[in-house]
Chain A
Amino acid sequence: MDGIHDMGGMHGMGPIEPEENEPVFHANWEKRMFAMNNAMPAGIRSIDESRHARERMNPGTYLSSSYYEIWLDGLIRILSEKGIISEEELTGGVAPKPVSTPRPALKAEDVDAVMSKGGNYIADAGKPARFRVGDKVRARNIHPVGHTRLPRYARGHIGEIVADYGPHVFPDASAAGRSDPQPLYSVKFASTELWGPDGTEGDYIYIDLWDDYLEAASDGA
């Protein structure tokens, strides 16, 4: 979706403000929010469903929220959409109902092992690669209403495949409950290709892009 989260290249966001000796968390509620998001049992929602839930926050609110406020909104949104919680339960209007498909909660003693293992986004197989390292490709000019990891600033622009990372779960599909594994590439774009005369000659932007996001640069060129 062409949402507020897709910020690459936007003007007017103001200065970057690094904080000296920044703590990992700034308040207890941030700790709990971070932890809840990571403690959710596997299978409740995919990483792409999580991201897509955050992207659908009201754009004005997104811009005026801190990052863990965005996580709060996103987690409530996705759990509500999955029928796991309801706004009435959250506000105490009704008593909590049992979840229809119970899943074992993460145990404290398993946290390190589970987090050290991580997830897996690599697929055993997928659709064959249409491109090879060295190929010139164009990021397609598409505007899907669902989740996508093709940033707006790259669309329509020509780059070069510099690495093939192999078949990976396709986020656009994963956010909709499917997988559609396909090759993931590292694609190199010249700054001047993306930003025209406002770019810098000799600088490059590398973006990880899936096969479906790309077309041969000769197509329609």
Chain B
Amino acid sequence: MGANHKHGDPLPETVLRVKSLESLLIEKGLVEAEALDALVDRYENKVGPKNGAKVVARAWVDDAYRERLLKDATSAVAEFGFTGAQGEELVALENTDKVHNVVVCTLCSCYPWPVLGLPPVWYKSAPYRARVVREPRKVLEEFGTRLPEGTEVRVWDSTAETRYLVIPKRPEGTEEMDEDALAELVNRDSMIGTREADSPTMAEGA
């Protein structure tokens, strides 16, 4: 327990209370168990960071798409059919040699669901929310991301319904790779901004 109490060890009454709440809401006709199953299935199996990786890979290989994405990310992402809840107003942020973007929600857990799925526990945790706005370089270093001193760091605090998607830098040595192969290099954290995209050698070793 304490500040590091996690998902793995809920209080027994928590599990019981969730069950009681579900039974009550079903009895009152407010929810249906099958719809709950479908919601879980959607975010466990259909909507996740593979969506965002496809968007990023397209932006890497197609300059016209990249421009559309930077101008109006909601529409450009919708070209893939990725739309809806927690991604109604998307903005894409491009990492370059000069600028590194990283995204947080200091007030709760806002995250671009249609492209990244549901957020990892660390993204919703007190340490990340507290620290990344104050000491982003130190946080990034803990993720293994060391930025040159001259790089400008931009931290985006998702305080409204705008949802931010980072387009990581295309790794070196990927000139010959096609869009599908490139998408494999786009890890979830690189689209939050805490890591870089994988290098092709890393991917081979994995």
Contact = CB atoms under 8 A, between A and B. Distances in A.
Given A22-B121, A34-B118, A117-B83, A9 B127 contact: no
Given A69-B14, A149-B159, A204 B153 contact: yes
A209 interface: yes
Nearest to A186: B162
A206 B36 CA distance: 36
Contacts of B84: 115-118
Nearest to A95: B27
Given A7-B129, A72-B17, A25 B107 contact: no
Given A9-B130, A39-B39, A208 B158 contact: yes
B173 interface: no
8 contacts: A6-B106, A13-B125, A39-B31, A39-B39, A68-B7, A204-B153, A204-B154, A209-B160
Interface in A1-33: 5-11, 13-19, 22, 24-27, 29-33
Given A8-B130, A39-B35, A84-B28, A165 B89 contact: yes
A75 interface: yes
Interface string B14-25: 110111111011
Interface in B1-53: 1-8, 10-11, 14-15, 17-22, 24-25, 27-32, 34-40, 42-44, 46-48
A105 B36 contact: no
A108 B4 CA distance: 36
Contact of A90 (B20, B81, B114, B131): B20
Interface residues of B, number: 86
Nearest to A39: B31
Given A35-B36, A90-B21, A153-B133, 16 more contacts: A15-B142, A16-B127, A35-B37, A36-B22, A40-B31, A66-B7, A84-B28, A91-B20, A92-B20, A108-B34, A111-B42, A115-B85, A116-B84, A118-B84, A121-B88, A194-B134
A102 B25 CA distance: 12
A99 interface: yes
A29 B19 contact: yes
